[in-house]
Structure 1
Amino acid sequence: MPRLLALPLFALLAATAHAAPPAARDDGWRVADPARAGFDVATLAALDTAIAVGEAPDTTSVLIARDGRLVVERYFGQGGPEVLNDTRSATKSVTALLVGAAVDRGLIDGAQAPVYGFFADRHWAHPDPLKRRFTVEDLLTMSSQWECDDDNAFSAGNEERMYLSADWTQFALDLPIKGYAPWMKRPKDSPYGRAFAYCTAGSFLLGAIVERASGQPLATFAREVLETPLGIRESQWQRSSEGVGMGGGGTRYRSRDLAKLGQLLLDGGRWNGKQVIASDWIRAMTTVQAQAREDADYGYLLWRFRFNVGGTEHAAWAMSGNGGNYVFVVPSERLVAVITRTRYNQRDMHAQSQRLLSEYILKALR
C-alpha cells in the first residue's frame, strides 16, 4: 500500500524531471527541452512509472536524442552518468564500425575480403573449399556456413564452448561446415540469399581480423578511429583467453557514449559535422542483408525491428545485447534511444525493452 500511495508523487516528480533538458556536459552533446523536441512529457513520465512498477526490471538508464540533441537522460537503480554499462552483444555493432574504419584506411580490402586469408600462418581442422570462400561480409551478416549457432546448445560453435577454449581464434577457424536438415532453409532458398544463424564466434573473429590488419590491439584501434573522434574518454574492452580483443561482446560504455554510437549511425557516420566512419559503410550496415527471424531483419551486425505505434510502422535499427540492452535508431523520427539494463539471461528481457521503446518513447512523439 505505501508503494501505491507513493506512485502519484513519483509520477509528479518524473513529469517535472522530463520537463527540463538534460544537463549540458563537456562531451559534445547538445541538449534540448523534450517538449520542444516534439515529445509529450506526460507519456515520458509514464515510462519512469513503468520502470518503477517493474515493467522492465533492472533498468539502469534511458536516454533519448532527437535531431542530434539529447532530450532525455534518466538513471535508475545502479545506473549513473559515469557508469560503464556492460551491454554484452551490443559490442558486435561497434566491431562492425571498426571493420568499416579498417576498410576506409585500406587495411581490409572491403567486405568481400576472404576471412581465412588473414590467418595464413595457421592451420585449421575440417578443411573445406567453402572456408576459402568465406568473406568478411559473411561474418558481418551472421551467414557464414560454419556450424555455429548460439541459440542451439548442441551447436559445435555455440559461444559457451568457445569461452572454455584456450584459443578462441583457433576455435573459430576450426569450426566444421554446417549441414542442413530437410526442414532448414539453405542460403539459396533464404531471403537475401543468406541463411542466418547467430554466431558470436564470427564477430569475435572479425575483431581478430581488425587486430591483424591494423597491427594494434582492438581497444587501441577503437580508441584511435572511433572513441577519440566521438569524445569518448573511457571504455573497457574484454580480451579472449589468448589475449585477442573481444569483438563479440562485453565492451563497457557510459550511456551518453552509447547514444553517440547511435547518433553516428543515424547521421551517416558523422559526429558533430565530422566524418568518423565512411557514409558508404554506414549505408551498408543499415541495409537489410539477411532475415534473422520472421519479425526481424539484419544488416552488418545490426538488428532491424518493426514497431507499429498508433497504426504507423516504425523501422528501428538496433545494437542489442543480453540483459535487454539496446541502442535504437529510428531514422523516420530522427531518433536515438538508449536503454541499459542488467537483466542478464532472463526471459522476456528483450521484449520488455522493446516495449519501452514502442509503448512509451515512440508513443510520446507528437
Structure 2
Amino acid sequence: MKAFALAAALIVAPLSAHASSDMPTAAPAAEGLSAEKLDAMSAAIKAGQFQQITSVLVARHGKLVFEAYYDDGKPDGGPEARRNTRSATKTVTAMLAGAAIARGALPSVQAPIKTYLKGRLPAANPDPRKDKVTVEDLLTMSSIAECDDDNSFSRGNEERMYLIEDWVGFYLDLPVRGFPEWMPRPEASPYGRSFSYCTAGVVTLGQVVQNAVGKPLPTFADEALFKPLGIEAPHWQMSPLGLAMGGGGLGLRGRDLLKLGQLYANGGQWNGKQVLPADFIKASVTPHANARENTDYGYLIWLQTFPGPDGAGHKAWVMSGSGGQKVAIVPDLDLVAVITTTNFGVRQPHAISEKLIAEHILAAVEK
C-alpha cells in the first residue's frame, strides 16, 4: 500500500465521540497541496531518510489534509498514542498562563511571580532583583536567574534540577546571572531581553499559574484548554513533589498537537469560541528576545523562517521539543504541520524535522 493511501485511510477513519471538536478533513488537492509530493515525503520517511519519524500531520485552511503514522501497529504507536512532546509542552504552559490572565487570576504578564509563591522565599542567593521577576520574564526565557540548559556548567541546567525533589525551589535558589563584557546585557540586546533557555523557569511558571487559579495545573488545563478542543486523557509527568511538569514531557496525540497549532493559527478561536484571548496570542508570536541567529522567541514559542520552494521565506511559529518534535504554524500559508519522532540519539534532530517541513511539506503547497 502506498504511503499516502495509508494516510488517507486514517483520515477517513471514524472520529471520536467528540467529533464536533475534531478538525474537518479534506483531500490535499482541495486545499492546494500536492498529494503526489506528500506521497513522496511519506516514501522518503519510510526509507529512513529522516531517521525515526513517527507521525506527520498537516492541516491547511483549518482542515486536516494529511495524517500518517510510521509506527502504526506498534504497542505504543498509531493515532491514539500519547506522544512525548518534550519541550513543546512549554508552549502549553504559556497557553495556560494566557488562560489564567483571561480569567483574571493573573492580572497581566507583568505580574511579579513572587506574589504567587508566598512562603517560597529563596533559601540561597537572596537578591532584591529576584523579587522583581515577572511572568513575562519566564515566558520569554529572559529572567535574571543564572539558568542555561545549553550550558552544562550552568547552575540552573535542567539536568541538575532533576537531582533534587523541589524543582521550584531549585529555580528560586539560583544566583543572579552575570554578564561579562563579551556578553550583551539585556539593555543592549535585541528587544531589551537577554535570552537563556531555562526549563526550571517554566516549571516555576507552572507553579505560579497553579497557585493563581487555585487548582492543580492538569485540572485547569482540562477546563481552560483541552476540553474545549476535545483533547482527552493527556499524560502529565509529575515532579517528585507532585507538581505537573510544565517544562516538558506532556503526552498528547498527534491530532491533539495539530489542534493546539490550529488554535494559534485561528487567533485563539476554536469552533467559533474564543478559547484563548486574541491579544495574548498576538503577543505570544511577537518577538520578545533573540534566541539565536535568524530565530527570535515569543511566549515559550520559537519564531523562525523556513525557506520555500520559490525562494521566499515563510515565517513560522514553532512549538519544539527535543528529538525534533515540531508543531509549525505557518500563517502566510494558513498551514499547520505536526512532526513527532524518536530521534533522540541522532545528530541534529531539529535540523532533520526542519528539513522535512521545508523540503516536503511546504514544497507540497501549490496554491
Whether the TM-score (by the shorter chain) exceeds 0.5 is yes
SS at match of 2:111: coil
Q: Report matched runs for 1:90-129 at 5 Å.
A: 90-124=88-122, 125-129=124-128
5+ unaligned residues in a row in structure 2: which ranges? Answer: none
Task: Pick the aligned partner of 1:28 from 18, 22, 44.
Answer: 22
The alpha-carbon distance between structure 1 residues 294 and 213, as it changes in their structure 2 partners (threshold 3 A), is same
Q: Which residue is 2:171 aligned to? A: 172
Query: Which range is displaced more, 116-125 or 40-49?
Result: 116-125
Whole-angstrom distance in 2 between the partners of 1:36 and 1:157: 49
Residue of structure 2 in register with 1:4 after alignment? none
Match of 1:340 in 2: 340
1:24-63, CA deviations, whole angstroms, 9 ceiling, x for partnerless residues?
A: 5125210001011101111111111221222222211100
SS in 2 for 1:36: helix
Q: Which residue pairs with 1:364 in the alignment? A: 364
Encode CA deviations 1:144-188: one digit per residue, 9 max, x unaligned: 111000000000000000011121111111111011122211101
Change (3 A) 1:68 1:239: same
The structure 1 residue matched to 2:60, chosen from 62, 66, 85, is: 66
2:185–2:194 contact (8 Å) kept in structure 1: yes
The residue number in structure 1 matching 2:50 is 56
Paired position in structure 2 for 1:274? 273
How far apart, in 2, do the equivalents of 1:346 and 1:264 lie?
31
Task: State the aligned residue count.
Answer: 355
What is the CA–CA distance in structure 1 between the aligned matches of 2:254 and 2:306, rounded to whole Å?
Answer: 23
Unaligned runs of 5+ in 1: 1-9
Contact kept? 1:19, 1:35, Cα under 8 Å: no
2:244 aligns to what? 245
Aligned partner letter, 1:14: A
Instruction: Provide the C-alpha distance between the structure 2 equivalents of 1:202 and 1:346, rounded to a whole number of angstroms.
Output: 27
CA contact (8 A) 2:325 2:341 kept: yes
SS at match of 2:95: helix
State the TM-score, normalizing by the size of structure 2: 0.94
What letter corresponds to residue 334 of structure 1 in structure 2? D
Residue pair 2:146, 2:155 contacting (<8 A) in 1 also: yes
Residue 3 of structure 1: aligned partner: none
Which amino acid letter does the alignment assign opposite residue 186 of structure 1? R
State the match for 1:225 in structure 2.
224
1:181 matched to 2:175? The reply is no
Tell me by how many angstroms 1:343 deviates. Answer: 1.3
Q: Secondary structure of 1:336's match?
A: strand
Q: 2:8·2:66 contact (CA, 8 Å) conserved in 1?
A: no
Pairwise CA distance, 1:346: 3.0
Q: Which residue of 2 aligns with 1:285?
A: 284
Give me the whole-angstrom Cα distance separating, in 2, the residues matched to 1:40 and 1:28. 23
Which whole-Å CA distance do the structure 2 matches of 1:15 and 1:245 have between them? 37
For the Cα contact (< 8 Å) 1:262–1:327, is it kept in 2? yes
> Deviations for 1:265-312, whole angstroms, at most 9, x for unmatched residues?
000101111111111111111111111000211100000111121211
Contact 1:21 1:31 in 2 (8 A): no
Cα 1:268–1:127, aligned 2, differ >3 Å: closer, same or farther?
Answer: same
How far apart, CA to CA, are the structure 1 residues paired with 2:180 and 2:125? Answer: 20
1:76 partner amino acid: Y
Instruction: State the distance in 2 between where 1:19 and 1:61 align.
Output: 14
Q: Which runs of 4+ in 1 moved over 6 A?
A: none
Relative to structure 1, the CA distance from residue 130 to residue 215 in structure 2 (aligned partners, 3 Å threshold; closer, same or farther) is same
- Corresponding position: 1:255 with 2:254: yes
Aligned ranges 1:307-326 → 2 under 5 Å: 307-309=306-308, 310-326=310-326
Conservation of the 8 A alpha-carbon contact between 2:10 and 2:68: no
Letter in 1 for 2:211: R
What are the superposed Cα offsets for residues 49-97 of structure 1, whole Å, 9 maximum, x if unpaired?
Answer: 2212222222111000011110000000243110000010000000000
Give the Cα–Cα distance (whole angstroms) in 2 for the partners of residues 341 and 14 of structure 1. Answer: 17
